[in-house]
């Protein structure tokens, strides 16, 4: 068992209030990714993308970090904060991208490309990060790749869609690992075009994990943080959003007068553009996780010692570039 399948909570309990009480009592900080359910985002001390969560984790003074997101996010916090207890409310909350890139297979891929700099997306396991030179997130991938020497041969994994997008905007020719995010890969060009016909004034916001033809429909391509910033500051009042639909909660919170329409996926997905792993994190599990201080995410010392180098390199470059 890797989470709280069916443990009940006391009847009549105000979960949000109890979570905040426990967090104060235990000197715990609650961090949530934009893709988790809105009710969980609402009780968090901090909501952000992977880059912001890693930056927050690296400087927190709390004794316990509760990472409301998927497993690799907990691993990153644990690697950055070896003395702290890092909890993830459900260890079954995995990531299709991280799963698509097993460390041993990636290590063989890297070995088949000697002399290449290895750039890995943050959506990887600690073991895959351990065979990486520099980690990137969608908020800093372009700038970090551009910071490498122009003639440096690069292996990029695991998201081939993000990698192809970075190749296109930087003119690099990175060798791509053939992985993809199951949510972003299934957005449908036809359905977005049909939606746009119904909402001609709407701007189309697309995450670079989407396939090329979907990216080419975009008025703005970017990470969740970049899409959020654009949606809030742009003069348009209607947006079609092609990324995991959890981000709509923060968009709507920050721009209540604007309309955000989730882009439809293709028919293979039963109309769903949610990540079922992110949605495993619920208020009930967050409450139980804080109460029992379980499940803990841990990374073995050897893997952590190797994985911290590319993560710190990412944080250093991001700091230097003001990201
Ligand atoms: O970097 C992240 O947090 C992910 C997975 C997406 C995004 O663009 O924020």
Tens of pLDDT, residue by residue over 152-195, are: 999 999 999 999 999 999 999 999 999 999 999 999 999 999 99
Q: 25-40: per-residue pLDDT in tens?
A: 999 999 999 999 999 9
Instruction: Give the pair of three-digit tokens for residue 290.
Output: 């804080």
Any atom of ligand 1 within 6 Å of the Cβ of 140: no
Any atom of ligand 1 within 6 Å of the Cβ of 318: no
Q: Give the model's confidence band at 1: pLDDT under 50 very low, under 70 low, under 90 confident, else very high.
A: low
Residue of 138, 229, 247 with the most ligand 1 atoms within 8 Å of its CB, for mutation: 138
Question: Which residue owns the Cα nearest ligand 1 atom 8?
Answer: 223
How far away, in angstroms, is 14 Cα from ligand 1 center? 30
Burial 273-307 (b: 16+ CB within 10 A, else e): bbbebbbbbbbbbbbbbbeeeebebebeeebbebb
How far away, in angstroms, is 53 Cα from ligand 1 center? 10
Q: 261-288: per-residue pLDDT in tens?
A: 999 888 765 667 899 999 999 999 999 9
Q: Which atom of ligand 1 is nearest to the CA of 223?
A: 8
| For the chain, percent of residues with pLDDT exceeding 90 | 93
Residue of 185, 222, 224 with the most ligand 1 atoms within 8 Å of its CB, for mutation: 224
Whose tokens are 């497993």? That residue is 71
Q: Quick one: angle between helices 301-320 and 50-59, nearest 10?
A: 110
Q: What is the mean pLDDT of residues 111-126?
A: 97
Any atom of ligand 1 within 6 Å of the Cβ of 49: yes
How far away, in angstroms, is 126 Cα from ligand 1 center? 17
What pLDDT was estimated at residue 4?
Answer: 78
Distance from C-alpha of 174 to C-alpha of 176, rounded to nearest angstrom: 6
**SS3 assignment, position 154:** strand
**What's the CA dihedral at 207, 209, 214, 217 to 10 degrees?**
30
Any atom of ligand 1 within 6 Å of the Cβ of 224: yes
**SS3 assignment, position 10:** coil
Question: Which residue owns the Cα nearest ligand 1 atom 1?
Answer: 50
């Amino acid at each position: 068992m890797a989470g709280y399948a069916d443990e009940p909570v006391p009847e009549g309990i105000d979960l949000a209030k109890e979570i905040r009480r426990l967090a104060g009592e235990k000197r715990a900080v609650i961090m949530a990714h934009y893709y988790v359910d809105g009710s969980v985002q609402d009780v968090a001390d901090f909501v952000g993308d992977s880059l912001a969560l890693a930056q927050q984790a690296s400087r927190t003074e709390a004794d316990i970090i509760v990472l409301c997101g998927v497993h690799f996010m907990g691993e990153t916090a644990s690697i950055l904060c070896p003395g702290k207890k890092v909890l993830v409310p459900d260890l079954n909350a995995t990531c299709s991208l991280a799963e698509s890139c097993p460390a041993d297979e990636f290590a063989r891929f890297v070995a088949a490309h000697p002399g290449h700099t290895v750039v890995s997306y943050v959506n990887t396991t600690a073991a895959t990060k351990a065979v990486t030179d520099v980690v990137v997130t969608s908020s800093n991938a372009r700038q970090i790749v551009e910071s490498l020497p122009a003639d440096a041969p690069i292996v990029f994994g695991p998201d081939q869609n993000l990698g192809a997008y970075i190749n296109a905007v930087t003119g690099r020719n990175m060798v791509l690992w053939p992985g993809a995010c199951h949510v972003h890969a299934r957005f449908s060009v036809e359905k977005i075009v049909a939606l746009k016909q119904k909402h001609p004034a709407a701007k189309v916001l697309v995450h670079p994990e989407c396939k090329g033809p979907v990216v080419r429909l975009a008025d703005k391509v970017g990470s969740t943080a970049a899409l959020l910033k654009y949606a809030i500051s742009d003069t348009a009042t209607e947006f079609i959003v092609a990324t995991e639909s959890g981000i709509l909660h923060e968009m709507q919170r920050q721009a209540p007068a604007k309309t955000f329409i989730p882009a439809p996926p293709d028919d293979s997905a039963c109309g769903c553009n949610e990540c079922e792993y992110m949605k495993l994190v619920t208020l009930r599990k967050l409450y139980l996780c804080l109460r029992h201080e379980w499940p803990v995410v841990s990374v073995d010392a050897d893997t952590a010692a190797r994985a911290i180098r590319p993560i710190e390199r990412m944080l250093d470059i991001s700091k230097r570039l003001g990201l």
